[in-house]
Structure 1
Amino acid sequence: MALMKFFFETIRFCIRGFVYALSFLFPYSRMSLFWRRITVFLYTSWIARDFKHFGKNSGVIPFFSLLQGGQYISIGNRCTIGAGVELTAWDSYQGQKFCPEIVFGDNCSIGEGAHITAVTSIRLGNNVLTGKRILITDNSHGVLEEGMLDVPPILRPLNSKGGITIEDNVWIGEKASIMPGVHIGKGVIIACNAVVTKDIPPYCVVAGVPAKIVKKLR
């Protein structure tokens, strides 16, 4: 038993020493970036054909949490979509029929774990940047009516108050939420955890639940 333990400890020591020596030839900081680029290239090449349009030099970091209705989704040039993103365009649900679209402009960067879902329209301009785990939705399950409350939420029909437009150079902070029917002007900064329920004019900072203007930049 002692001999067997000594044998395995020796093997472990040799493997660890070998890997440690390799780290001088292939440092983690350099190789992690190299493998990241390789995996993004391979994953993007595999999944790009599922979209209506996929722009030049855009990439998806593995892996999507969910991709639904890619034929209704257009990605601009030089966009980056983070890992674990849920990107859904629903053309039908529980017998309902929809004509959805999700359109990204150029140079958009969507943070890890984002959830973007449409039954009507979500349009992002150029240079839109989002933090992690943001929500952009143009729909919800059911409406605020007494009779609807006795229906299980998953069985309630999808309802939309209108599409969402986000103009150029908007920065959306981590865990922020953009609700249906909202138009966000150019250059807006949306604070972390904010919930946007109304139109936001250009060049201002909004924060809070619901989001309100806290500073005008122009």
Structure 2
Amino acid sequence: MPWLWFGLKPALRVWAEPWQARIQEQLRAVEAVEIGSDCFIAPQARIFAEPKRPIVLGDRVSVGAEAFLHGPITLGDDVSVNPRVSMDGGRAGIRVGAGTRIATGAMIYAFDHGMDPAAEMRTQPVRSRGIEIGRDVWIAAGVGITDGVRIGDHAVVAMGAVVTRDVPDWAIVAGVPARVIGKRSDQGDRRSQDSGSNSSSGG
């Protein structure tokens, strides 16, 4: 798992760093790929970039096995992309803020097809408005995020949700389509209150 990389003991780092450097060297040979320092990219990850569709990874980014990334995508520092995540930036791109976690199997697509009933689906125009995900966000397993969406800083998207419209800062959203069910900014106070109630009832 990607997070194991950052916890390696020095003796194992001596073995692992040259192996990881070879993987990243192959990716850096592609003109449109930029990789920051101390990143981890699983050898089974599939990363595709091309002119005008770059992939930019900040420092300490991890990309898990069988993740699929097609630019334009920019991942800020300390972003983790878990196994089997699928991200396609379309034309407008995907931007992910620092410290965000994207769990296994999430699907993030910054493009969409037309649905004109007078035309077959294969001939429909493709449009792309882009996706922006803020910093310190948790995208849980199996989440879908559609084109044109902005997810605010510190938000949480629950497992299996499909996000079709903007998510405010600190919001917790769930469901299909996703809707606000709470605020992450309230969670610390709630834990403190629960702890206090338990102490009182037990005393």
What TM-score range do you get, normalising by the shorter chain?
0.7 to 0.9
Which of 34, 39, 45 aligns to 2:25? It is: 45
Corresponding residue number in structure 2 for 1:170: 137
Which of 35, 40, 43 aligns to 1:62? It is: 43
TM-score where L is the length of structure 2: 0.76
1:125-165: per-residue Cα shift (whole Å, max 9, x none)?
1001011111111112x3121023x243xx543222x1111
Q: Mark the runs of 5 or more structure 2 residues left unpaired by the alignment.
A: 1-8, 186-203
Corresponding residue number in structure 1 for 2:127: 159
1:93-128: per-residue Cα shift (whole Å, max 9, x none)?
xxxxxxxx3111100000101111012121101001
Corresponding residue number in structure 1 for 2:149: 182
How many residue pairs align between the two structures? 171
Q: 2:69 & 2:60 partners in 1: Cα distance? A: 18
Corresponding residue number in structure 2 for 1:125: 97
Identity of aligned residues (%): 26
AA aligned opposite 1:53: E
Which of 71, 74, 92 aligns to 2:56? It is: 74
Whether the aligned pair in 1 keeps the contact of 2:82 and 2:104 (CA below 8 Å) is yes
**Larger Rg computed on CA atoms:** 1
Change (3 A) 1:207 1:37: farther
Greater helix share, structure number? 1
1:50-101: per-residue Cα shift (whole Å, max 9, x none)?
2432111112111224524376111101100111111113xxxxxxxxxxx3
Change (3 A) 1:39 1:151: same
Q: Mark the runs of 5 or more structure 1 residues left unpaired by the alignment.
A: 1-29, 90-100
TM-score where L is the length of structure 1: 0.71
